[in-house]
Amino acid sequence: MKQIFLFYFFIYITNILGQKNQEVETYTLKYNVAQNDKHSSSFLTIKNNVGIYYSFRDKEDAKNIYSEINIEKGVNHNIKINTKDTIYNIVKTNIISKEMLSTTNIFKDGKYQKYIVDEYCDNIQWKMLNETKKIADFNCKKATTRYKGRNYIVWYSEEIPTSIGPWKLHGLPGAILYATDTENYIQISIAMLNLKSHDYMINYIFGDNLKKISCEKSLSLKKEQGREIADKIQSKLPRGAQFNITNISNNWLEKECN
């Protein structure tokens, strides 16, 4: 697999240097993702200086238990909200313009709403370590950082020349083949290289009808949605019934904006 992928990248670099007027090749990496004990597959499609990270699911699976509210006397109530999104967890990064756009779904005004989070693609402060190992037959190096409120450990390979990584991780001198945080909330591991069938996703366009918000605003809205969901539960209880909220689980991937 390594030899095939390196050959592909040789052709890719040749196209950039020797055929400037021609279309630059696109390539896609597939990852296995375990997040908060849920397993899925995600993809990273890269073309030149732009990368788009995303996940797929079918219409039947386009549902999400967004928050768990612990009701008085220890009774738990889960709200299931149909997102209708078959493409989700989208992050589009441009390392030249330093623009990063991503989608987020927030329960607001009694319904599930999608927003575009527009943020500046800051340089992540990576600590490069001397540890090495092989992943999928690629020589990898270890790096750590604190980003978005979590401490990350990643393994990257300079044999795959891109600084765009899965999710919002970026800025290393090679592709990230494995990433996790110290709380084991998320683990991202490479599953397949040079997956051509998804290359069309590089042209993905966010809907013009979606409102753009800052990262700070998105976190603020997520904190407020607990009360929104509580009101939704109250509306479904028998008339006169009341409940008290003892805890709202807000275990998000992003805890901070930098």
| pLDDT tens digits, one per residue of 150-175 | 999 999 999 998 999 999 999 999 99
Could you say which DSSP state residue 200 is in? G
234 compared with 20, residue with greater pLDDT:
234
Number of helices followed by number of strands (H, E) in the chain: 2, 15
Inform me whether the pLDDT recorded for 253 exceeds 60: yes
pLDDT at 86: 76
Q: What is the distance between the alpha carbons of residues 251 and 89, in angstroms, rounded to a whole number? A: 16
pLDDT at 151: 98
Assigned domain for 5 exists = no
Least confident interval from 15-24, 158-167, 190-199: 15-24
Q: How many domains does the chain have?
A: 1
Inform me whether the pLDDT recorded for 111 exceeds 60: yes
pLDDT in tens, 230-251: 777 777 777 777 666 555 556 7
Assigned domain for 165 exists = yes
Assigned domain for 240 exists = yes
Assigned domain for 166 exists = yes
Assigned domain for 12 exists = no
Assigned domain for 82 exists = yes
Residue where the block lists tokens 């539960």: 233
State what percent of residues in the chain have pLDDT above 70: 76
Q: What is the distance between the alpha carbons of residues 119 and 136, in angstroms, rounded to a whole number? A: 33
Q: What is the distance between the alpha carbons of residues 127 and 146, in angstroms, rounded to a whole number? A: 10
The domain of 142 spans 26-248
Helical H segments across the chain, by residue range: 2-18, 215-236
26 compared with 176, residue with greater pLDDT:
176
Q: In what helix (H) or strand (E) does residue 226 lie, and over which residues does it extend? A: helix 215-236
Q: What size, in residues, is the chain? A: 258
Inform me whether the pLDDT recorded for 65 exceeds 50: no
Assigned domain for 169 exists = yes
Assigned domain for 205 exists = yes
C-alpha count within 13 angstroms, C-beta hemisphere, residue 102:
21
